[in-house]
Amino acid sequence: MKKMDYQNVKGTQDYLPNVEVVRRDIRRTLEDVFIQYGCKPLETPILNYTELMASKYGGGAEILEEMYTLSDRGKRDLALRYDLTIPFAKVVAMNPTLKMPFKRYEIGKVFRDGPIKTGRFREFTQCDVDIVGVGSQIAESELMVMALDAFRKLELKVTIQYNNRKLLTGMLNVFGTEYEKINKVILILDKLEKVGIESVVTELDEQGLSSSTITLIKQFLIDAGKTSFDYFESFAEQNEEVRHGLNELKELESYLEFLGVREQCVFNPFLARGLEIYTGTIYEIFLDDQSIKSSIGSGGRYDNAIGGLIGTDQEFSTVGISFGLDVIYTAICSTVKELKENPNVDYYIVPLGTQKESLLVAGYLRNKGYKVEFEMSNKKLGKALDKANKEKIRSVIIIGQDEVRNNQFKVKDMFSGEEWTESFPFN
């Protein structure tokens, strides 16, 4: 019989306990913060109709190329979700009785058949919060402050860059960019930090933009004053979209300033976010130490998606934020200091021919809320203590026949070497 060559599907991986413990801690921390901010839990199906996921309110052409598609026995066209946003928009569209504003969080796996590189897989976990039913920038400020809170609890120093799609679209209008080319130009501008001005200008030239438009865009890219809102005032007089975008940015900044987080939130007039779904504020979260260059969280306002799915022109004010669990794990691993004490085991119980009695002690301690590991493989004491040292378990409980006879158990502090006995009624 031929031996099977077991291996994971390309772009997927197993998370062994030492890794999964950290991932679960990150997930728990994020979930606790989401709940603290009044978010309600939601779970949506991984499997969806292709028509829903391929909606123009989805991820755009680039993501659709990466969508996993399949069919069931009834020959229905299905797709695996590539993010949590469209399934959420579907829930709101299908449930008109939901009380607004509706604030939900969801943590779940998504799938993209895209290129694989460090920190990027084809199966990964997203942690999303979305607010629907709030037109004011108070929703954006709530999500940005929540993100800063979450990363503070994860002990990662971050900066949030933010912009407004109306401002960017309006500026490109002012510069004479043809309407049908605006989204493509935005995608090119989004690469500015990665590829530099000259490469961006070359790509703009390839789009067939007029030389005067390219000159104006290049001037915009190199102008020193563009990070100030004042720079856009004269353009706001010429263009309604610039005016709306600028007003929204000013409103957002007033919240950020009042809440004392303005230093961690930086206006970036070229931040574009590739997705066509966005209609207003957009933001991306970056590590201060640049140990990972790409963003570790992002989001923005997308007011047209839910109405579009229902098939009406009705606007549903919607703003969201998404954190990538895998990239946060990578960031934490690159900054984590050596573990001094195992946080996942309070007591490690070693029975010396006293399995039943030791199980009694384990149950007693677990009922008190302690995390207890029980040695089930009849390890000799020396080997069990070696394991405790390797896994940085501080407290080892040793239970032999003498301890049972005397109604007590022995506790050893592996860090100090100190030992003591505690009473326990075995009989």
Enumerate the domain spans of the chain: 17-335, 347-423
Topology at the third CATH level for domain 17-335? BirA Bifunctional Protein; domain 2 (3.30.930)
Side chain identity, residue 33? V
290 marked as binding residue? no
- 326 to 26, 46, 254, 259, 297: CA distances (angstroms): 10, 18, 33, 30, 11
Q: What is the pLDDT of residues 234-289, one digit of tens each?
A: 888 889 999 999 999 999 999 999 999 999 999 998 888 766 788 999 999 999 98
Mean of pLDDT over the chain: 88
Is 58 a residue whose pLDDT tops 70?
A: no
223 marked as binding residue? no
* Gap between the Cα atoms of 254 and 256, Å rounded: 6
Structure tokens that stand for 324 in this block: 């990538």
**pLDDT value of residue 335:** 67
Structure tokens that stand for 298 in this block: 């992002």
Cross-strand partners of 71: 77
* Gap between the Cα atoms of 60 and 83, Å rounded: 12
Structure tokens that stand for 203 in this block: 């790509």
Q: What is the pLDDT of residues 147-185, one digit of tens each?
A: 999 999 999 999 999 999 999 899 988 888 888 888 888
- 208: confidence class by pLDDT, cuts 50, 70, 90: confident
**pLDDT value of residue 215:** 85
85 marked as binding residue? yes
Q: What is the pLDDT of residues 342-359, one digit of tens each?
A: 888 999 999 998 999 999
Is 2 a residue whose pLDDT tops 70?
A: no
The DSSP secondary-structure symbol of 214 reads H
Is 39 a residue whose pLDDT tops 80?
A: yes
To 10 degrees, the CA torsion angle through 85, 86, 89, 90? -140
126 marked as binding residue? yes
Q: What is the pLDDT of residues 308-324, one digit of tens each?
A: 777 777 778 999 999 99
* Gap between the Cα atoms of 26 and 150, Å rounded: 9
Q: What is the mean pLDDT of residues 114-142?
A: 90
> What does DSSP say about strands 265-267 and 158-164: parallel, antiparallel, or unpaired?
parallel
Is 75 a residue whose pLDDT tops 90?
A: yes
Q: What is the mean pLDDT of residues 16-26?
A: 90
State whether residue 413 is helix, strand or coil: strand
Q: What is the mean pLDDT of residues 285-301?
A: 90
- 123: confidence class by pLDDT, cuts 50, 70, 90: very high
DSSP for 292-337 reads S-S-SEEEEE-TTHHHHHHTS-----EEEEEEEHHHHHHHHHHHPP
Spatial neighbors of 7 by CB under 8 A, at least 6 apart, are none
Q: Which long-range contacts (CB under 8 A, 24 or more apart) does 364-369 make?
A: 364/424
CATH 3.40.190.170 fits 347-423, yes or no: no
Tallying the residues shown for the chain, one arrives at 427
130 marked as binding residue? yes
Closest residue by Cα to residue 109 from 16, 47, 154: 47
Closest residue by Cα to residue 350 from 366, 362, 364, 341: 362
- 62: confidence class by pLDDT, cuts 50, 70, 90: low
83 marked as binding residue? yes
Cross-strand partners of 40: 104
273 marked as binding residue? yes
* Gap between the Cα atoms of 173 and 89, Å rounded: 30
Is 301 a residue whose pLDDT tops 80?
A: yes
